[in-house]
């Protein structure tokens, strides 16, 4: 278990940012999803031992956040949501310095900086002052400084914020590798539910500082009984033929949604397509999306489903 909280509460005056949160997170990649102001950043600050809880307890990597903040911060990396890079130094100089501030000896800091910047995909640019970097490059440096000391857990606060769709995909790919290739557990926050299901083993949804749901991604996005079928021609006769043979098929635009219960029914689908002399364009098993699960049940949770 990398993170565990019980009845964790944090109030700021009359506002309750975290409200009786009880959570157990196993090693791997966990997504923390909630709208802006849902309490994500407050939770991260508590987990880093930087903000005392009003009540309740929390531990990270087996260390109590109240008593052992330094021990936690030795073994955890943190990537803030906001900009935190001085513009007048190069990425290499900056990450070396940050590695030393995490306790690495100088020669190790230099070696690991070179490695880490390469892993996050920064090459020639690392010798240039960071003031001229694009948002995508800045996000990579921010990630590198969180990884350079080889932590056991990284806390990534909205790492895809401000990135264009391509940059977003690259960042998500990188995050997936942190756990699978580097062996470092990840807690990643987002206000977008859709993007996290691709990289996370489990997703925690919070709203108003309360835990709404904690779900294993595999359970949610598992296979459904629906197969998407696309042919290069009119699909109405095919739908009729399939239905007459006991396989329910509904046209949704150019796609037929076919209810497949048993393996043999795939043969019926194939034979029907051949009989009508249609070209088979796509035959794909539909997966659930996280958004289907959360949005109808948590209609009042202001989560941008995308």
CB closer to another protein out of 16 and 90: 90
Q: Does 91 bind another protein (CB under 8 A)?
A: no
Q: Is 53 in the site for another protein (CB under 8 A)?
A: no
Cβ neighbors of 44 (< 8 A, separation 6 or more) are 78, 155, 157, 187, 189
Three-state secondary-structure class, residue 193: helix
Distance, in Å, from the CA atom of 151 to the CA atom of 79, rounded to the nearest integer, reads: 12
What is the Cα–Cα distance from 145 to 97, expressed in whole angstroms?
9
Interior angle at CA 9, CA 6 and CA 14, nearest 5: 165
Rg (CA), the chain: 24
Chosen residue from 82, 132, 253, 263 binding another protein by CB under 8 A: 82
Instruction: Pick out residues in 129-148 that bind another protein (CB under 8 A).
Output: 145
Of the pair 8, 95, the CB lying nearest another protein is at: 95
Piece of 58-66, 163-171, 175-183, 215-223 that binds another protein (CB under 8 A): 175-183
Nearer to another protein, 45 or 168 (CB): 45
Cα–Cα distance for residue pair 29/167, rounded to 1 Å: 20
Per-position x/- string for 197-236, each x denoting binding to another protein as judged by CB under 8 A, each - no binding:
----------------------------------------
Give least dist CB 76 to another protein, A.
8
The torsion angles phi and psi of 246, rounded to 5 degrees, stand at 90, 15
- Count of positions on this chain that bind another protein (CB under 8 A): 46
Q: Identify whether the C-beta of residue 144 lies closer than 8 Å to the C-beta of residue 120.
A: yes
Q: Which is nearer to another protein, 120 or 249 (CB)?
A: 120
By CB under 8 A, is residue 70 in contact with another protein?
yes
Does residue 100 touch another protein according to CB under 8 A? Answer: yes
Backbone angles phi, psi at 123, to 5 degrees: -115, -100
Q: Note whether 188 and 31 are within 8 A (CB).
A: yes
Distance separating the N- and C-terminal Cα atoms of the chain = 30
Please state the closest distance from residue 132 (CB atom) to another protein, in A: 14
Q: Which stretch binds another protein (CB under 8 A): 17-25, 114-122, 199-207, 226-234?
A: 114-122
CB of 262 to another protein, least distance (A): 42
Of 2, 34, 58, 112, which one interacts with another protein (CB under 8 A)? 112
Q: How far apart are CA 6 and CA 4, in angstroms?
A: 7
- Interface with another protein, residue 119, by CB under 8 A: yes
Of the candidates 137, 128, 132, the one whose C-alpha atom is nearest the C-alpha of residue 163 is 137
User: Which stretches of the chain bind another protein, using CB under 8 A?
Assistant: 41, 44-45, 48, 50-51, 70-71, 73-74, 76, 78, 80-89, 93, 97-98, 100-106, 108, 112, 115, 118-119, 123-124, 145, 149-150, 157, 181-183
């Amino acid at each position: 278990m990398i993170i565990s909280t019980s009845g964790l509460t944090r109030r700021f005056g009359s506002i309750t940012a975290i409200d009786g949160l009880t959570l157990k997170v196993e090693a791997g990649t966990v997504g923390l999803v909630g709208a802006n102001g849902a309490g994500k950043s407050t939770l991260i600050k508590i987990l880093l031992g930087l903000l005392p809880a009003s009540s309740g307890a929390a531990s990270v990597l087996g260390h109590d956040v109240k008593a052992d903040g330094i021990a936690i911060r030795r073994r955890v990396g943190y990537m803030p949501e906001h900009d935190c890079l001085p513009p007048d130094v190069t990425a290499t100089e900056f990450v070396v310095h940050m590695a030393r501030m995490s306790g690495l000896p100088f020669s190790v800091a230099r070696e690991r900086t070179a490695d880490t910047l390469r892993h996050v995909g920064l090459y020639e640019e690392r010798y240039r002052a960071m003031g001229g970097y694009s948002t995508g490059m800045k996000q990579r440096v921010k990630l590198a400084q969180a990884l350079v000391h080889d932590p056991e857990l990284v806390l990534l606060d909205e790492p895809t914020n401000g990135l264009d769709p391509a940059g977003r995909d690259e960042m998500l790919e990188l995050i997936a590798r942190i756990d699978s290739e580097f062996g470092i557990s990840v807690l990643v926050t987002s206000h977008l539910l859709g993007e996290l299901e691709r990289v996370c083993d489990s997703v925690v949804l919070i709203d108003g500082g309360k835990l709404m749901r904690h779900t294993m991604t595999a359970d949610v996005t598992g296979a459904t009984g629906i197969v998407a079928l696309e042919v290069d021609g009119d699909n109405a006769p095919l739908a009729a033929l399939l239905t007459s043979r006991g396989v329910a098929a509904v046209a949704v635009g150019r796609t037929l949604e076919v209810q497949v219960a048993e393996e043999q029914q795939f043969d019926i689908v194939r034979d029907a397509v051949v009989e009508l002399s249609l070209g088979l364009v796509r035959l794909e098993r539909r997966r659930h999306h996280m958004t289907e699960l959360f949005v109808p049940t948590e209609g009042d949770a202001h989560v941008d489903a995308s």
